[in-house]
Amino acid sequence: MIDLSKYSPNQQDAILTNDKHLRIVACAGSGKTTTVAGKVAYLLDPINGFDVAPENIIAFTYTEKAAAELKNKILNNVGNHRGMANMYIGTIHGWCLKALQENEYEYQSFSVLDEIKLKLFIDKHYDTIGMKEVKKLSNSTVPLRRFIDTSLFVQIMDIIRESDRQELPENLTRAKAQYEKTLKSKKYFDFSMIMEKAMECMEASSNLSARIKSDLKFLIVDEYQDINPIQERLINRIQEVSQCKLVVVGDDDQNIYQWRGSNNRYIIDFESKFDNSATKSIPLSTNYRSSDGITKIAETLISNNQKRIPNKEMKSGGLQNFTKGQDILYNRYDSVTDENEAIANYIDNILGVPFTDDEETRGITFSDISILLRTWSKAETIVEALERHNIPYITAGVNQLFETREIEAALGLFTYLYGDLERSELKELWQKLPNNNIDNDRLEIALNDLDTKFPKLPEVETNWEYSLQNILWDFISLAEIYEDSFIDHTDPDLHKRTKERAEIMFFNLGKFSQVINDFEEINFNSSSPSFHLFSFLSFINYVARDYYPEGWLNNPYTTPNAVQIMTIHQAKGLEFPVVLIPGLNNNYLPSKKRGGLNVWHFLDRELIEEQSRYEGDPDKEDERRLLYVALTRSQKFLLLSQAPDLNNRLYKVESDYIQELTRAKIGSFPILISDHKQDFSSFTKIDQQSKEKVKNIALDFTTLKDIFECPYRFKLISVFGFRYPLNQRMGVGRSFHNCLMELHKRGKEGESMSKEEVNEVVDRQTHFPYLTNSTILKPRLWDKVRKNVTEYYEDTKDDFSHIEFVEQDIQYKVDDSILVLGRIDLIKKVGSDGKYETTIIEFKSDEESADLPITKDQLKLYALGHRELTGEIADYIMTYVIGENKVKTPEKLYESDLNSIESKIRDAVDLIWSERFLRTEEKKTCQECFQVRLCSNRVQHDIKVKR
DNA sequence: CCGAATACGATTTTT
DNA sequence: TCGTATTCGG
């Protein structure tokens, strides 16, 4: 039961109002997530008599990160309420994909292309994908150009599918049709298509419509101010079909994604969507984050905007005190150099200044401070100043991956094979890496091996599996270039420094491995080896260079104590005791519009409703909201600064917004104090302490398996991000899986299938994304799937009436911040006379190992999730190997099995927190390990690599 | 002093 | 390619 007294009256109102559509207008720091989590818990609690189960609620968030946060808060509120895995909390895209794959058999074998893979795909299919159809409006003989204009094509396709618009001209209609057809033929979605298809699916009298009609009672939409037209249409459709209550949460003043077509008019006009009495609007106007000074100055700024909900005003909840002339400052300098130097000095000065938060007083430390930027270009000189002062910092968006020495060396392998680099030059690139301990003889061996891989060699020319990923892995392996080769063990200080550098180096190599993987997923063996190599190098030079960020010092599972440098967009939803906003010049904030060739040279502005959304409004309201978001990140301290940029004549004049901020007053005293150098030396500095930040993590079984078997493998895959080389056989396991899922689902409904119908299932669900046409492998793989699936169906169809769950999502909460997620293939329930037995079944293709103890761990983990779902402990666990069609005997499951797997998970999580990524000592594990080529255990245990 | 011509510099990012 | 700042010319 939730304790209502800890919520404010308006928050309580938001929790208790459940008979109307609800708009919660939540200002910055108003406890929005807490309120939503409280509302969900209240609805679920049987004591309140709503008769609402987890599957009756859907909550949309804007990012996966926000979803994880909300999910955790809800789980902490509801205690051990059962079946929480059935409540969807996630992004709109995620829900659409799940809805399509669960309800339309056709889409089970589809996968989603992210932006970079989409661009690769478009360039590969330039001739047929409709890009040539898109012509310049001013000169209809000029089409979009391959490679150069691919981003524009992506943008145009997004806009015409996501906006509200007029009928398209013929050429664009053709382009759209060709684009969608080409993607579909290769079983790919792009992000917009997921939403479009989900919409279509709900228009028909489909499974999906029936499903939401029977299940859905409450649809919660977070960050509703950032919704774009297609998302609005989708939300409306879901509501119409299900007749659910709609709960939207957001802040019209924090809409900052207008270049994606998002529009705060949807939240402003929410009440006109339904009949007057059907909706209620509740403001959460108390800001529990920031001082009076911060809230007043931000409110003064944003009140200059016209497009916002009338008569609302943010008030401080008084959790922070405001000290006039000290907390909020605005300084002007003669040059950017001076400005940056002052920033570094300010940081040095404020460290240890007492700050009270959650009723505890501690000294300000690095991680309490953030520097917010409008553009990344501002970061470089700031970083230099911080380095001069030895101030630790984190940035997450600088594009310099390809300029690092390790990536130059790795890329050298391919320029060498292409013939643009001498062998001696390549060798030098590797030998000159800092702190390296690479053996000359080993390097020669690796280079000699590389010499057998020139694409022009007769024996290579006909190789259908010319894998660049393999070339990289072989080189690393043969030269014995491992993370430990770069660590100096001679003295502790050197050890620490070289260890950090080695981690960054391998993080970057891991990123590079992902770059190769992105390229090869789309282009795997679709051409001759030499063309494959050529197009990879072109991809690197023309596309990838400004796309992949450089590795950070930290790994994603820990937060170091450092100053955070980020864009205002990235800071959304975060809070810091100290916020610095430098560079407040016109053309920077507010930024000037971008020049150059753009979408509107190809797409008529008239066709798109509210087209100005995409270009930024002339009143600069969008940019004002951005500054508003930046200001409201601060709990107490705020330093604004400005200086003319001597190197750039665009950035010389002070931002117009400064004048607006100057008008902010408390009583008759201005809040913003200009050119008053605050000196914190009069303060009694106290112990610097980082605030404990709860870091939510979700683990799936694949990740846990790595930690169980070899923590170092977890590091290689989940921290560094190395990707395994692709091959033509990939897809067997997933094909089996999808076939069985369809058979089971239809079988569960009582359908009995003929041999022809089973064949149709196989045709629909089997997919080998990397298979070439001209090989004997194709019929072999298809026959294998067909034969085994048919046999499986014949053997087990009589048993299908006992199926209880197919592809059931499960989750298991380890503690307040750790959630384990999974999906059980099949659960059978056999019984009579009120007595029954439950079996959890996991399918493996014969290429996977089914007998290993690790598979039993997987099943035990699923049993934990099954208990969460049903409250019952399953009786048996069983693995079914499809390839051999050999039924394994079910094994009895005991309660002690659940306890042992639970403590095993806890141990694994401890290893992650403490960063003890040790290599396994089991030789057998290494022999089975796919990543052994990247690990020094290969040498230690003398393992022969089989490929 | 003002309009026209010319020189210069050039986002934000999630799914 | 286009928006903005600066310079040029009357």
Question: Which of chain C's bases lie under 7 Å from a protein CB?
Answer: 1-6
Q: Judge if A418 and A483 occupy the same domain.
A: yes
Question: What average pLDDT does range A405-414 have in this prediction?
Answer: 93
User: What is the spatial distance between Cα A331 and Cα A582, in angstroms, rounded to a whole number?
Assistant: 9
DSSP code per residue over A498-526: HHHHHHHHHHHHHHHHHHHHHHHHHHTTS
Closest nucleotide (CA of A618 to C1')? Answer: C3
A262 CA to B13 C1' distance (Å): 13
A460 CA to C5 C1' distance (Å): 58
Is the Cα dihedral A531, A533, A535, A538 positive or negative? negative
Q: Which residue has the tokens 């529990």?
A: A288
Number of Cβ within a 10 Å radius of residue A324: 13
A27 annotated as belonging to a binding site for a ligand? yes
* A638 in Cβ contact with A631 (< 8 Å): yes
Closest nucleotide (CA of A586 to C1')? Answer: C4
> What residues contact residue A268 under an 8 Å CB cut-off, 6+ apart?
A252, A307, A308, A309
Give the residue from A397, A365, A711, A383 showing the smallest Cα distance to A559.
A365
A573-584, pLDDT tens digit by residue?
Answer: 899 999 999 999
A33 annotated as belonging to a binding site for a ligand? yes
A134-184, pLDDT tens digit by residue?
Answer: 988 888 888 888 888 888 899 999 999 999 999 999 999 999 999 999 999
Give exposure, A893-913, as e/b (b: 16+ Cβ within 10 Å). Answer: beeebbeebbebbeebbebbe
More confident residue, A600 or A427: A427
The reply to whether A593 Cβ lies less than 7 angstroms from strand C is: yes
A650 CA to C5 C1' distance (Å): 7
What's the DSSP call for residue A804? E
User: What is the spatial distance between Cα A226 and Cα A239, in angstroms, rounded to a whole number?
Assistant: 19
Q: Judge if A303 and A313 occupy the same domain.
A: yes
Question: What average pLDDT does range A484-505 have in this prediction?
Answer: 87
The answer as to whether A601 is a domain residue is: no
Q: Is A375 helix (H, G, I), strand (E, B) or coil?
A: coil
A618 CA to C9 C1' distance (Å): 31
The answer as to whether A170 is a domain residue is: yes
The answer as to whether A30 is a domain residue is: yes
Q: Judge if A877 and A775 occupy the same domain.
A: yes
> What interhelical angle do A853-870 and A701-709 show, nearest 10?
140
User: What is the spatial distance between Cα A313 and Cα A315, in angstroms, rounded to a whole number?
Assistant: 6
Q: Into how many domains does chain A fold? A: 6
User: What is residue A501's predicted lDDT score, i.e. its pLDDT?
Assistant: 85
User: What is residue A549's predicted lDDT score, i.e. its pLDDT?
Assistant: 58
B11 C1' closest Cα residue: A375
We report the CATH number of the domain holding residue A674 as: 3.40.50.300
* A37 in Cβ contact with A70 (< 8 Å): yes
User: What is the spatial distance between Cα A186 and Cα A241, in angstroms, rounded to a whole number?
Assistant: 31
Question: What average pLDDT does range A889-915 have in this prediction?
Answer: 89
Determine the residue type at A395.
Answer: T
User: What is the spatial distance between Cα A537 and Cα A531, in angstroms, rounded to a whole number?
Assistant: 10
Q: Judge if A800 and A687 occupy the same domain.
A: no
Which residue, A186, A212, A245, sits at the end of a domain? A186
C6 C1' closest Cα residue: A649
Q: How confident is the model at residue A553 (pLDDT cuts 50, 70, 90)?
A: very low
The reply to whether A405 Cβ lies less than 7 angstroms from strand C is: no
The reply to whether A596 Cβ lies less than 7 angstroms from strand C is: yes
Closest nucleotide (CA of A596 to C1')? Answer: C1
Q: Which residue has the tokens 């230099």?
A: A384
Question: Which of chain B's bases lie under 7 Å from a protein CB?
Answer: 8-15
The answer as to whether A494 is a domain residue is: yes
Paired strand residues for A854: none
A651 CA to B10 C1' distance (Å): 12
Q: Of A1-10, A863-872, A907-916, which gets the smallest average pLDDT?
A: A907-916
Closest nucleotide (CA of A595 to C1')? Answer: C2
A650 CA to C10 C1' distance (Å): 28
A78-130, pLDDT tens digit by residue?
Answer: 887 889 999 999 999 999 999 999 888 999 999 999 988 998 999 899 999 99
Q: Of A304-308, A534-538, A647-651, which gets the smallest average pLDDT?
A: A647-651
A648 CA to B2 C1' distance (Å): 26
A649 CA to B6 C1' distance (Å): 15
Q: How confident is the model at residue A847 (pLDDT cuts 50, 70, 90)?
A: low
The reply to whether A49 Cβ lies less than 7 angstroms from strand C is: no
| Residues engaging strand B (CB under 7 angstroms) | A 62-65, 91, 93-94, 114-115, 191, 259-260, 374-377, 397, 567, 569-570, 591, 593-596, 615-616, 647-650
Q: Judge if A455 and A510 occupy the same domain.
A: yes
A668 annotated as belonging to a binding site for a ligand? no
A28 annotated as belonging to a binding site for a ligand? yes
Determine the residue type at A902.
Answer: E
Q: Which two tokens stand for residue A869?
A: 């779902």
Which residue, A143, A163, A186, sits at the end of a domain? A186
C4 C1' closest Cα residue: A650
Given a cut of 70, whether residue A399 has pLDDT beyond it is: no
Neighbouring C-alpha atoms within 13 Å toward the C-beta of A41: 22
A653 CA to C9 C1' distance (Å): 26
A573 CA to B10 C1' distance (Å): 29
We report the CATH number of the domain holding residue A840 as: 3.90.320
User: What is residue A615's predicted lDDT score, i.e. its pLDDT?
Assistant: 80
User: What is the spatial distance between Cα A218 and Cα A74, in angstroms, rounded to a whole number?
Assistant: 15
Q: Which residue has the tokens 């095993």?
A: A904
Domain with A170 in it: 111-186
The answer as to whether A84 is a domain residue is: yes
Q: Judge if A818 and A860 occupy the same domain.
A: yes
Question: What average pLDDT does range A836-849 have in this prediction?
Answer: 82
The reply to whether A601 Cβ lies less than 7 angstroms from strand C is: yes
In percent, how much of chain A has pLDDT > 90? 59
Q: Judge if A360 and A469 occupy the same domain.
A: no
The answer as to whether A933 is a domain residue is: yes
User: What is residue A140's predicted lDDT score, i.e. its pLDDT?
Assistant: 81
The answer as to whether A335 is a domain residue is: yes
A30 annotated as belonging to a binding site for a ligand? yes
Closest nucleotide (CA of A151 to C1')? Answer: B13
Number of Cβ within a 10 Å radius of residue A235: 20
Q: Which residue has the tokens 């046409």?
A: A773
Question: What average pLDDT does range A600-610 have in this prediction?
Answer: 87
User: What is residue A527's predicted lDDT score, i.e. its pLDDT?
Assistant: 78
The answer as to whether A541 is a domain residue is: no
B8 C1' closest Cα residue: A649
Q: Judge if A826 and A777 occupy the same domain.
A: yes
Run of H or E residues at A207: helix A207-215
Closest nucleotide (CA of A594 to C1')? Answer: B10
User: What is residue A783's predicted lDDT score, i.e. its pLDDT?
Assistant: 93
Task: For chain A, count helices (H), then strands (E).
Answer: 34, 28
A817 CA to C3 C1' distance (Å): 48
Q: Judge if A586 and A637 occupy the same domain.
A: yes
CA dist A210 → A272, A282, A577, A623, A738 (Å)? 28, 32, 49, 43, 23
Question: What average pLDDT does range A541-553 have in this prediction?
Answer: 64
Q: Judge if A772 and A711 occupy the same domain.
A: no
Average pLDDT, chain A: 89
Q: Judge if A262 and A122 occupy the same domain.
A: no
DSSP code per residue over A71-138: HHHHHHHHTT-TTGGGSEEEEHHHHHHHHHHHH-GGGTT-EE--HHHHHHHHHHTTTTSSGGG-B-SS
Question: What average pLDDT does range A61-86 have in this prediction?
Answer: 89
Given a cut of 90, whether residue A469 has pLDDT beyond it is: yes
Run of H or E residues at A835: strand A835-844
Q: Judge if A323 and A359 occupy the same domain.
A: yes
Which residue, A253, A284, A315, sits at the end of a domain? A284
What's the DSSP call for residue A594? P
Torsion angles phi and psi, residue A630, rounded to 5 = -60, -45
The reply to whether A611 Cβ lies less than 7 angstroms from strand C is: no
A206-253, pLDDT tens digit by residue?
Answer: 889 999 999 999 999 999 999 999 999 999 999 999 999 999 999 999
Closest nucleotide (CA of A142 to C1')? Answer: C1
Run of H or E residues at A828: strand A818-832
Paired strand residues for A23: A248, A281
Q: How confident is the model at residue A850 (pLDDT cuts 50, 70, 90)?
A: low
* A285 in Cβ contact with A32 (< 8 Å): no
A855 annotated as belonging to a binding site for a ligand? no
A26 annotated as belonging to a binding site for a ligand? yes
User: What is the spatial distance between Cα A904 and Cα A922, in angstroms, rounded to a whole number?
Assistant: 18
User: What is the spatial distance between Cα A668 and Cα A652, in angstroms, rounded to a whole number?
Assistant: 31
A844 annotated as belonging to a binding site for a ligand? no
A618 CA to B1 C1' distance (Å): 27
* A287 in Cβ contact with A315 (< 8 Å): yes
A412 CA to B9 C1' distance (Å): 33
> Distance from first CA to last CA of chain A, Å, rounded?
57
A380-391, pLDDT tens digit by residue?
Answer: 889 999 999 999
Q: Which residue has the tokens 């008084």?
A: A318
